[in-house]
Amino acid sequence: MPAPLYEQIVLWILKEIREQRLRPGDRVMSERELAQRFGVSTMTSKGALARLAAQGIIVRFRGKGSFVAEVRSSLHELAVTVPPSSADASSEHSLEGLSDAARASVRDHVIALIVPGFADSFGVKIVRAVEEACARMGIHMLMRVTHGLRALEDQAIDDCLRVGVSGILVMPVHGENYNTKILRMVIDGFPVVLLDRYFKGIPTKAVHTDNLLAAQDLTELLMDYGHRHVAFLSPPNSTSSISSRLQGYRDAHSLRGYLAPSERVYSAVYSTMPLYENDHRNDLIELETRNLEQFMARQPEITAYVACEYEIAVLMRRVLTKKGVRIPEDVSLVCFDNYRGVMDELFFTHVRQDEEAMGRVGVELVVQSMLGDTTPQIVHVPYNIIQSQSAGPAISISN
């Protein structure tokens, strides 16, 4: 199965750079030129250039075009994508296709899974997929939950190393600085793989959704409905997934020629973070409800919201309902992830991440490291935009 169209453009430009037909400072084909060359829409070519710009491979100047940047990292460290139709086959072939000697060498070893927490909306399927992949390989899984606390993450890492685990899958907690214990494992060559995160500028193995492109697609869906004044809601910007989603939201505005004022970004939702899952969480939710009401009141022109997490969308839906605002008749509300109980319908238009692929590929990368392949690699698992009840046309369109 061929790569997605935008990915084909990305790979072609990377090849041009790698083979030195494009050098630092050279102009890259325009969006229109790329669209004509590959027979795609300009939106597809824009997405490809946005991906390269986010990776620091090209720099873009309004009115002048895109140019090759000074690339200091080796190109093999750039992200690759697992196509949606081949994610399962790619992972299972890599694991099941191992030689008997390789399988025997990792059988009965222990892999640790360290996560801040997990919920039905995101995380449970990752845990299940990791356990199933380990069982298929005859590997034992040890799991620790850090509740979003760096101290518990440090303790979990120390405990796992003390009992002799052979590899670690970790979803790092929120924080402005990287965990030095994880960095030390990376430097020492210990088999460690990041889940749903990556360390910018640090060559590691990691598997996650292309959050930048997913957020860009989600925001542009709202713009296709005629929304010009779109807000972004998130916890504090302290993980790579959150910062990438924010950048994707901003890139969507830039690609459409719209403004994305900083005052439309609300990044102070704390109640959804694992750190605040305690007896005082309800009080915090009440405080944040009032803060979001004030945020709405300051910017009555907003007609749509992008929530970077499902729980934030639930909180914002509560705020809108309390104020008598109808969804989607008055305001549209979209998010990442969703949850549907046995009797529930999906309400939110959302980005559906492939958690199963994330868990399976994570185990695959750990096993690769255990067998001696420590090459840094970032794998993007597929995502889909699922349209449901919470997004619709803007009542009035203003520029």
Tally of CB atoms within 10 A around 58: 23
- Is the Cβ–Cβ distance between 310 and 280 less than 8 Å? no
Residues 226, 348, single domain; the answer is: yes
Residues 287, 317, single domain; the answer is: yes
Q: DSSP string of 13-42?
A: HHHHHHTTSS-TTPEEPPHHHHHHHHT--H
Which among 123-127, 197-201, 345-349 has the top mean pLDDT? 123-127
What is the Cα 143 distance to its own chain's centre? 22
Q: Which residues are within 8 A (CB) of 341 and not within 5 positions of it... i.e. 6 or more apart? A: 120
Return the bridge partners of 192, or none.
168
Residues 239, 179, single domain; the answer is: no
DSSP label at 246?
A: H
Residues 138, 169, single domain; the answer is: yes
Does some domain include residue 397? no
Does some domain include residue 389? no
In this predicted model, what pLDDT tens digit does every residue of 194-245 receive, in sequence order? Answer: 999 888 878 889 999 999 999 999 999 999 999 999 999 999 877 889 999 9
Which among 4-13, 19-28, 169-178 has the top mean pLDDT? 19-28
Residue 377, domain CATH: 3.40.50.2300
Helix (H, G, I), strand (E, B) or coil at 3: coil
Does some domain include residue 249? yes
Does some domain include residue 367? yes
- Is the Cβ–Cβ distance between 13 and 22 less than 8 Å? yes
Residue that the structure tokens 């009115």 belong to: 63
The number of folded domains in the chain is 3
Does some domain include residue 12? yes
Helix (H, G, I), strand (E, B) or coil at 215: helix
Q: Which residues are within 8 A (CB) of 167 and not within 5 positions of it... i.e. 6 or more apart? A: 109, 111, 112, 190, 191, 192, 193, 366, 367, 369, 370
Residues 130, 140, single domain; the answer is: yes
In this predicted model, what pLDDT tens digit does every residue of 28-60 receive, in sequence order? Answer: 999 889 988 988 887 778 878 887 877 678 887
Residues 87, 34, single domain; the answer is: no
Rounded distance between C-alpha atoms, residue 252 and residue 242, angstroms: 16
DSSP label at 308?
A: S
Rounded distance between C-alpha atoms, residue 91 and residue 156, angstroms: 27
The mean of the pLDDT values for the chain is 85
Residue 26, domain CATH: 1.10.10.10
User: What backbone torsions phi and psi does residue 54 show, to the nearest 5 degrees?
Assistant: -65, -30
pLDDT of 21 above 60:
yes
Does some domain include residue 312? yes
Residue type, 248: G
Rounded distance between C-alpha atoms, residue 153 and residue 170, angstroms: 9
What pLDDT, on a 0 to 100 scale, did the predictor assign at position 91?
40
Does some domain include residue 319? yes
- Is the Cβ–Cβ distance between 1 and 86 less than 8 Å? yes
Q: Among 72, 103, 123, which residue terminates a domain?
A: 72
Residues 186, 278, single domain; the answer is: no
Residues 215, 138, single domain; the answer is: no
Residues 323, 222, single domain; the answer is: yes
What pLDDT, on a 0 to 100 scale, did the predictor assign at position 255?
84
Residues 259, 287, single domain; the answer is: yes
Does some domain include residue 399? no
Q: Among 34, 53, 72, which residue terminates a domain?
A: 72
pLDDT of 118 above 60:
yes
What pLDDT, on a 0 to 100 scale, did the predictor assign at position 75?
45
Return the bridge partners of 145, or none.
115
What pLDDT, on a 0 to 100 scale, did the predictor assign at position 61?
75
The answer to whether the peptide bond before residue 4 is cis (omega within 30 degrees of 0) is: no
Q: Which residue did the predictor score with more confidence, 346 or 342?
A: 346
Residues 34, 134, single domain; the answer is: no
Q: What is the pTM of this model?
A: 0.76
In this predicted model, what pLDDT tens digit does every residue of 267-302 receive, in sequence order? Answer: 999 887 765 555 667 788 888 999 999 999 999 999
Residues 250, 133, single domain; the answer is: no
Q: Among 37, 54, 72, which residue terminates a domain?
A: 72
Tally of CB atoms within 10 A around 123: 20
- Is the Cβ–Cβ distance between 121 and 311 less than 8 Å? yes
Structure tokens at 298: 């300051």
Q: Domain range spanning residue 32? A: 5-72
